[in-house]
Amino acid sequence: MSQPESNVLINGHPIKPSEIPSEDEILALGKEILAASDNWKQGKALKKFIKTSTYSPSSKGGTKWACRVSEHTREEGTFDEFWNGLGVNKAENEMQ
């Protein structure tokens, strides 16, 4: 993953509230990370439809990233159903 074009580096280190970037900048950085994740080291495939990958920075002290991507058909569930399972009750659903 290359250095983001902005002055903000997402590295997992705490920052002061006054240093939190704008919502637009956070979204742009998130999109950049998502695009870069296509080139990360491929990991295990889980349940045939979940693919994993990781990114380890070349510099010391950098943050290691992990990614899980799953693709589903419309018949498998709606966005709201998946969001409820992943965005709202993820820990509870992971145990099932």
Task: Report the 10 Å Cβ neighbour count for 8.
Answer: 16
Higher pLDDT, residue 66 or 11: 66
Q: pLDDT band for position 10 (50/70/90)?
A: low
Q: Alpha-carbon distance 73 to 96, whole Å?
A: 21
pLDDT value of residue 6: 46
The pLDDT, as a whole number, for residue 72 is 85
pLDDT at res. 40: 92
> pLDDT digits over 23-77, tens only?
999 899 889 888 888 899 999 888 878 899 998 877 676 778 888 888 888 898 8
Q: What is the pLDDT of residue 88?
A: 84
**Amino acid type, 35:** A
Domain map (residue ranges) of the chain: 42-96
**DSSP, residue by residue, 56-95:** --SSTTPPPEEEEEE---GGG--HHHHHIIIIISHHHHHT
